[in-house]
Amino acid sequence: MDLRKTAAFFVTVITCLFFFGMTGAKAAEPYNLGVALGLTGTGALYSADQVEAVKLAVEEINAKGGFLGKHKIELFIRDTQTKPDVGVREVKDLILRDKIKAVINDYSSAVALAVKPIAQEYKVLHIAAISNSENITKINPSPYTFQVVPNTYMQGKASAVAVAKMAKQKGWKEYITIASDYEWGRSTQAEVVKVLKEMVPNLSLKKEFWPRLGEAQFTSYITGIMAMKPDFVFGVLASNDNVAWMEQAKTYGFFDKIAYPGSLISVTELILQAKTLPRNIIALTRAPFFAHLDNPMMADFVKNYRAKYNKFPSDWAVLGYDAVYALKQGVEKANSIDTEKVKDSMKGLTVNLTRGKLAFRTIDNQLSCSSYVGTITDDPKYPFPIYKDIVEVKGSESERPESEILEARKAEKK
Amino acid sequence: MKNKYLFPVILFLLAVALPFIVPEFWVHVLTEILIMGLFAASFNMIFGYMGQLSFGHAAYYGVGAYTTGLLMVKANVPLLVCLPLSMLSAGLCAAVLGYFCVKLRGIYFAILTMAFGQLVYYIIFQWYSFTGGDNGLQGIVPPAFLGKAANPYYFFTLIVVTLGMIALWIISESPFGYTMRAIRDNAERTEFIGINVQRYMHLNFIIAAVFAGLAGALWGPFNRSVAPDLCSWQHSGMPVFMTVMGGPFNFLGPLIGSAIYTLLMAFVTSFTEYWPMVSGIVIIVVVLVMPGGLLGLLRDRLPFLRQNVGRAKETNG
Amino acid sequence: MDITSLFAQFLSGLTYGTILFLVAAGLSLIFGVMNILNFAHAALWLMGAYFSYTFWSWMQGYSFAFWLSIPLAGLAAAAVGWVMEVVLIKRIYKRELYEQLLITYCIALILSDTIKLTWGVTNKLIVRPEIIQKPVFIFGAPLDSYFLFVIASGAAVAIGLWWFLKYTRYGHIVKAAVYSREMVGALGIPIPRIDTWVFTLGIFLAGFAGGIQAPIGSITLGMDTAIIIQAFCVVVIGGFGSLLGTLVGSLIVGEVMSFTILFWPEGAMVLIFVITAAILIVRPWGLFGTPMRT
């Protein structure tokens, strides 16, 4: 019999597990904040900026003692690889091991959708600051999920209105859409197509292209679209995909031949592709710092961000910073870091952010924030082009009416 | 002979006791170990017992996961009904694809299984209206009688995985299992004694897929969602890693490998994001210095582990 | 759909095929001689792209920087490949198939994280010289002017490899080794040295292809996982170890991708894997390969 050896083997195993388990336990005094973003994969470009801004916000708050002056914020940063499966695992890990009270997540709307029920189950605040699919807050709403970025309905509406105006002016007849084949691309494209149909009835959608999320080779799409000679193309691509698409389309002379109005070109792209971006096209973005420099909070943020990172903040940096400060004001109103209380106090709360005084809608926890449409133009003040003639489409002008949200929820339940 | 069942029984008792001792996070890790362990054990039916390397086994795991996911989300079918249906769908899928795979050996077998795996992946990926495409499916919630806490679902998984492992054990110890070993060791000679090698291999391929489907079916309710990545070639690499770590020449090797891999991952990811690099280095070391995996290494030292598959040189085409 | 548009589509398929060819040529060569399916090939390809970015940014301001960084990327990747072969790959030629696959797969994981550690997670963008920023028109069909260079490079590599295999002594040894390593060894030729150089040459091609890819779009982490599987398909369709096969295989995959986007976009990848599986079932050694000895 080797029972002794067997016993020794299992005792070792159990001891090891105990040891692992102990490392998970931590004191409860600090406020543990999780950041789970797509740091590798397609979303890396936007997510990296956001992490930097979150770090800056946390440093500022901790310099004053933390939340409520006494709860130091501890940051836990994880990579979701822009994949729903990995995202769920990482967030679960953050909740159970790092005992986070809130998580900023994600780049991808598909990941945010998968994380939402997990956050609700474990009663952890979930703040979406890049991912903006309307479905995150519209159907199956979670009281723990807040969105500080204009959602796909608001963005789609803002850009579709601008595009419709141009289409009427120029007498455009046919168009093509090219959108990333996942939640964000699908829901934005659907909204834009719907609004365009209502506003310009004789406009026809000739074809839809759905490159996969993470596509790097767009040449066949480009020649294919150019062959169909549409009057304009509407693009719903972001981050790495958007850069690859714009770079390749430009080398084909795409933008000289075909109008490309109203598509997402964020500050990240403006900076990264400063030399190569086509000028004078109308584009859409979510939180450009240069639209709100008159707001002292934004001016300070830009100054501090530049001092720390030696670059201008992108939309995603602005949104990450706002996410932390929205949470801060929620904690202050609740006068507690207890998640249940913070969740309730944030409902309908008006917060002071870099983008001005904005309120969370009670019905869906969506921040009633603006979308920005403008013309890409060079500016001597910056080493990259910025938006000129900015039209700020307010949240109140672009939100989905509450009655429609209730209807959608009813339809979902059946 | 007396010791033959000692190791598995102790393992089972340990699995029953652990959730009451460790914090909730580790209960989730244990659930994952069990699910991936069953997946790896089903893979080892092809790898360890048949001597062929499948690099597309995640396809059947994914088909199982999506069968359960779709039935639960779209038709509210109870989980207990979903499990056998997932096994059925994965088996049917393998019946078609496996028919072609078993005609090939060695590297060609590996690549064809991978090509079929990617085929399944892209079908799920592109069929947006039905499978949700890249978004996957959300809202797969375990049935009410299991509640939402970690422990009940863990025990449910433990029961299902234990039954699955027992079934695999019975198959591997049956005359059929010994025929597979004979085919692995010398396919030609097995053919000469009047055995239809291809048909046996096909049947074994289907059995392996059925249990991979069962493992996949357990994943959705555990993670509350499924995504196409469950079928990707990277995911097909997981059971290979686990089996090689634990030891392909032992029935429990894949399960032990799953425990090592998953625990190591849970441990390493808590302080570094460079888990792929760490896992790569660990596996290279395992392959270079302990080709029999952990159980292979321990076998000579700990006699109670000796209920191996019967070591033999692998045959490549 | 007029003829010019179809031609434009053909050209874009041709360019994608050329990129695939450059990646797959080294893969096929290494498999042909050493029987190793190198999972790490695309990681080295991506590393080549990052190397090219680094060299380009070092030499920024010089007119030759853009062009010189491409072959330099190949050389840098080849150096990494050489170390890899001498330290690790050498030990696994005689090992089991699964051990070879696992080791190269793990090398790919390690290299990917090495890239992340070295270059960070943000995109890298190479700005092209003036002359290749505008499209050219071939019979009215638009083409990115840089792609003329890509196609020419692909053709040069194909011809160079063909000439090497057909007319040089080393080429003859390599070709002989594809048929029988034992026989070549028996003739007194040092097989281990040949292995090292063939592997290094294969990785040079990968790095060179990465350098070529770099100015198309931007360089990002994770680009390698998409292309490695397509490169496998190319090699399977064309046949392991056959140069002509790799060329034909990459053109097939490139054109199928390009034309399905016009007519059946959802089916592009599905169709590629159906073709690959069909070839494996009917003719496992590929269109131009020879049945593998055991």
Residue B106 domain flag: yes
Say whether residue B274 is in contact with chain C using an 8 A CB cutoff.
yes
On whether any CB of chain C is under 8 Å from the CB of A227, the answer is yes
pLDDT digit string, tens, across residues B188-237: 899 898 899 999 999 999 999 999 999 999 999 999 999 999 999 999 99
Mutation site, A20, A40, A76, A145, interface B, largest B CB count within 10 A:
A20
Nearest Cα to B290, choosing from B267, B265, B256? B256
Do residues A159 and A275 both lie within one domain? Answer: yes
Percent of chain C scoring above 90 in pLDDT: 60
The SS3 of residue A353 is strand
Say which of A48, A226, A250 has its CB closest to residue C122.
Answer: A48
Residue B105 included in any domain: yes
Please say if the pLDDT value at position B306 is more than 80: no
Give the closest-approach CA distance of C172 to chain A in angstroms. Answer: 37
Q: Are residues A265 and A394 in the same domain?
A: yes
Would an 8 Å CB–CB cutoff place A118 in contact with chain B? Answer: yes
Closest residue, chain B, to A7 (C-alpha): B10
Which chain B residues contact residue A6 at CB under 8 A? 6-7, 10, 302, 304
pLDDT for A39 equals 85
Closest CA to C33 of C209, C237, C196: C196
Percent of chain A with pLDDT over 90: 72
For C220-249, the pLDDT digits (tens) are: 888 888 899 999 999 999 988 889 999 999
Q: Which of residues 205-264 of B touch C (CB under 8 A)?
A: 233-234, 237, 240-241, 244
Which residues span the domain enclosing B85? 23-232
**pLDDT tens digits, B37-95:** 999 999 999 999 999 999 999 999 999 999 999 999 999 999 999 999 999 999 999 99
pLDDT in the model for residue C270: 92
**A107 and A186 in a common domain:** no
Residues in B closer than 8 angstroms to C291, CB to CB, are: none
Range list of β-strands (E), chain C:
135-138, 141-144
Residue A190, domain member (yes or no) = yes
Q: Residue C2's pLDDT is what?
A: 81
Q: pLDDT tens for residues A143-180?
A: 999 999 999 999 999 999 899 999 999 999 999 999 99
Residue A302 — very low, low, confident or very high, per pLDDT cuts 50/70/90? very high
Percent of chain A with pLDDT over 70: 93
Task: Check if the beta carbon of residue C201 is closer than 8 Å to that of residue C168.
Answer: no
Of residues A88, A97, A182, nearest to B270 (C-beta): A97
Q: Taking CB atoms and an 8 Å limit, are A253 and C134 in contact across chains?
A: yes
CB pair distance less than 8 Å for B126 and C294: no
Helices (H) and strands (E) in chain B, counts: 14, 2
C131: Cα within 13 Å, side-chain hemisphere: 6
Which DSSP string corresponds to A187-218? HHHHHHHHHHHHH-TT-EEEEEE-PPTT----
Are A314 and A243 in contact, with CB atoms under 8 Å apart? no
Do the Cβ atoms of A248 and C125 come within 8 Å? no
Average pLDDT over residues C18-23: 94
| B308 touches C at CB < 8 Å | no
Domain residues for the domain of A81 are 31-151+292-369
A241/A302 same-domain check: no
Q: Which of C264, C281, C285 to mutate to test the interface with B (most CBs of B within 10 A)?
A: C281
Does residue B146 belong to any structural domain of this protein?
yes
pLDDT (mean) for B181-186: 92
Residue A9 lies in a domain: no
Q: Answer yes or no: is pLDDT of A77 > 50.
A: yes
What is the pLDDT averaged over residues B165-169? Answer: 96
pLDDT number for residue C52:
97
Residue A204 included in any domain: yes
- CATH number for A246: 3.40.50.2300
pLDDT at C290: 77
Q: What's the gap in Å between the CA of A41 and the closest CA on chain B?
A: 13
In a domain, A14, yes or no: no
Whole-angstrom distance, CA of residue A35 vs CA of residue B127: 31
Nearest by CB to A88, from B3, B148, B225: name it.
Answer: B225
Chain A within 8 Å of B121 (Cβ-Cβ)?
A: no
- Between CA A339 and CA A120 the distance in angstroms is 11
Nearest to A262 by CA among A213, A192, A202: A192
- Cβ atoms < 10 Å from Cβ of B152: 15
Q: Which residue of A has its CA nearest to C123?
A: A45
Q: Which two tokens stand for residue B227?
A: 């995504």
Q: How would you class B58 by CB atoms within 10 Å of its CB: exposed for 0-12, middle for 13-18, buried for 19 or more?
A: buried
Q: Contact, B300 vs B290, CB < 8 A?
A: no
In this predicted structure, the answer to whether residue A8 has a pLDDT above a threshold of 70 is: no
- Which residues of chain A lie closer than 8 angstroms to B148, CB-CB? 121
Position B314 pLDDT exceeds 50: no
Residue A22 has pLDDT above 70, yes or no: no
User: Looking at residues A369-377, what average pLDDT do you find?
Assistant: 94
C160: three-class secondary structure by DSSP: helix
Model pLDDT, residue B316? 37
**Residue B199 sits at the chain A interface (C-beta within 8 Å):** no
Q: Which residues of C167-180 are buried (b: 16+ CB within 10 A; e: fewer)?
A: eeeeeebbbbbbee
Asked whether residue A101 falls in the same domain as residue A221, the answer is no
**Residue in C101, C112, C114 closest to B110 by CB:** C101
Directed axis angle between helix A296-309 and helix A44-63, to 10°?
110
Cβ–Cβ under 8 Å, residues A121 and A143: no
Which pLDDT does position A27 carry in this prediction?
Answer: 43
Which residue of A lies nearest to C126 if distances are taken between CA atoms? Answer: A273
- pLDDT value of position B309: 45
CA–centroid distance for A30 within its chain: 27
Residues of chain C above pLDDT 70, percent:
99
The reply to whether A256 falls in a domain is: yes
Query: Are B122 and C269 an interchain contact pair (Cβ–Cβ within 8 Å)?
Result: yes
pLDDT digits (tens, 9 = 90+) for B9-22: 999 999 999 999 99
For C272-286, write each residue's pLDDT tens digit. Answer: 999 999 999 999 889
Nearest residue in C to B292, CA atom: C99
Query: Closest by alpha carbon to C183, among C171, C193, C191?
Result: C191
CB-based contacts of C241: which residues, under 8 Å, 6+ apart?
C28, C29, C31, C32, C33, C178, C289, C290
Q: Give how far the C-alpha of residue A154 lies from the chain's centroid of Cα atoms, to the nearest Å.
A: 13
Q: Are B136 and A181 in contact (CB under 8 A)?
A: no
Measured between CB atoms, does C117 come within 8 Å of chain B? yes
Same domain membership, residue A78 and residue A101: yes
Does residue C98 sit at the B interface (CB-CB below 8 Å)? yes
Q: Between A219, A273, A276, which is nearest C15 by CB?
A: A219
Nearest to A244 among C13, C217, C262 (CB): C217
Domains in chain B: how many in total? Answer: 1
Residues in chain B with CB shorter than 8 Å from the CB of C116 are 274
On whether both A163 and A266 belong to a single domain, the answer is yes
| Tally of domains within chain A | 2
Q: What is the mean pLDDT of chain B?
A: 90
Name the helix (H) or strand (E) containing A395: helix A395-398
Rounded-to-integer distance, Cα B212 and Cα B199, Å: 20
Please name the member of B23, B25, B135 whose beta carbon is closest to the beta carbon of A110: B135
Query: Per the CB < 8 Å rule, is A13 touching B14?
Result: yes
In the complex, which subunits touch B with 3 or more CB pairs below 8 angstroms?
Answer: A, C
Q: Is the pLDDT score of A216 beyond 80?
A: yes
Residue of C nearest to B54 (CA): C98
Q: Which residues of B touch A13 (CB under 8 A)?
A: 14
Chain C residues with CB inside 8 Å of B100's CB? 277, 281
Average pLDDT, chain C: 91
Same domain, A199 and A179: yes
Per residue in A383-407, pLDDT (tens digit) is 999 999 999 999 988 999 999 999 9
Residues of chain C neighbouring B103 (CB-CB closer than 8 A): 281
Under the banding of pLDDT at 50, 70 and 90, the label for residue A213 is confident
Nearest CA to C45 out of C77, C87, C86 is that of: C77
d(CA A102, CA B266) in angstroms, rounded, equals 21
Model pLDDT, residue A59: 95
Q: Which candidate from C96, C274, C294 shows the least CB-CB separation from B119?
A: C274
Q: Is some CB atom of chain B closer than 8 A to the CB atom of A75? A: no
Q: Hey, what CATH topology would domain C3-282 get?
A: ABC transporter involved in vitamin B12 uptake, BtuC (1.10.3470)
Q: Quote the CA–CA distance of A209 and A216 in Å, as a whole number.
A: 15
What are the structure tokens assigned to B16, written together?
């029953």
What per-residue confidence (pLDDT) applies to B311? 43
Inside any domain, residue B258: no
Residue C291 touches partner A, C-beta closer than 8 Å: no
Each domain of chain C, given as residue ranges in start order, spans 3-282
Residue A275 lies in a domain: yes
Higher pLDDT, B299 or A104: A104
**Whole-angstrom Cα distance, residue B297 to residue B250?**
11
B294: in domain: no
A18-21 CB contacts, 8 Å cutoff, 24+ apart: A18/B21, A18/B22, A20/B22, A20/B26, A20/B263, A20/B266, A20/B267, A21/B21, A21/B22, A21/B23, A21/B25, A21/B26
Asked whether residue B271 is domain-assigned, the answer is: no
CB contact at 8 A, C232 and C247:
no
Q: pLDDT tens digits for A338-369?
A: 999 999 999 999 999 999 999 999 999 999 99
A162 lies in a domain?
yes
